[in-house]
Amino acid sequence: MAEINGSVRRLFDGEDFAVIVEPAGESGSAPSWVSDNLSAIETLARAHPVVVLRGIGISKEADFPAVRDLLVGRPANYVYRSTPRTEVLEGIMTATEYPATEEILMHCENAYQRDWPLRLVFCCIKPSETGGQTPVADVRAVTRALGDEILDEVERRGVRYVRNYHEGFDLDWKTVFQTEDRGEVEAFCRANDIDFEWTPEGHLRTAQTCQGTARHPVTGERLWFNQAQLFHPSALGEDVLEDLIDIFGEDGLPRDARYGDGAPIEPEILTRVRDAFQAEARQFDWQAGDVMIVDNMLASHARRPFTGSRRVLVSMGRMNSELTDIAGAAE
């Protein structure tokens, strides 16, 4: 096994879930150090769902693309979006651009879709003055905490995501589908088994049933893998939810999550899910130049509120469908 030119230690005391790597001495250029140590980094990433690289020589945004190319390869195309982002370079986006006062709850990226990236790579260009951490959680531990009864039920029934795209609130359909052409939206929906309809007011409504659990294409483990706890209206809080119902009605809410058969998901299950993620949340303070490699099925992530300016970039790749096909062919 290749040895890394640097030190490796646990990111969180007593837990092997995440490690932090720091070069020995001056690292030189970030791409050169990553390239020289790539085999060892990949070995660490297979053993630990979260790997933080610190002090590798990233000082500006322009340093990140070459590192991303080594760690991600071909980036995923982020269409059918769920959150506001800005693409700053090809395949490199800002982390979710919700207001600094808001907390982003734990989730696995694109778990509301039928295909998703297996690898996320974050890069901190500028940490916030206070807060702004990107907590991570061990999805294996979350899965164990939820238990087989809940997993079996959600696996059997799936999760149905219903979205209403209103101009001026949340994301409009042009942003979500990255086009202004209704025909392209409809073609995408048909190709991805997404039900859709245009309302008389010109708004779009979509619904898609996706997995409640999924098996990791490398380890074969069954994992809790959906975004029901984010899409369900209860995530908004009572006051905000009441206001939105007054404006749009219950059937017109921007987002909802139900069982695949359309029945409501029991509130106590959603509470169990949120509590399980919260119990496993771990966080560290970003430093400028940090790179965090995340296995998107084995580790969830979130964002704490913050003050001051904050610049964290992310790139996604190694789609589950591609790795599943490779694993299947090897069997």
Q: Tell me which DSSP letter residue 75 carries.
A: B
Record the tokens describing residue 72, joined without a space: 């991600």
Give the three-class secondary structure for 288. Answer: coil
Instruction: Please report the pLDDT score of residue 331 as a whole number.
Output: 43
pLDDT band at 329 (very low <50, low <70, confident <90, very high): very low
pLDDT tens string 214-266: 999 999 999 999 999 999 998 888 888 888 888 888 888 999 999 999 999 99
Determine the average pLDDT of the residues in 280-292.
98
Phi-psi region of 105 (alpha: psi -120 to 50; beta: other; left: phi over 0): beta
pLDDT tens string 120-175: 999 999 999 999 999 999 999 999 999 999 999 999 999 999 999 988 888 899 99
Nearest to 113 by CA among 205, 209, 179, 191: 209
With beta carbons less than 8 A apart as the criterion, state whether 61 and 125 touch.
Answer: yes
User: Which domains are assigned to the chain?
Assistant: 6-136+284-296+305-330 (3.60.130.10), 140-276 (3.60.130.10)
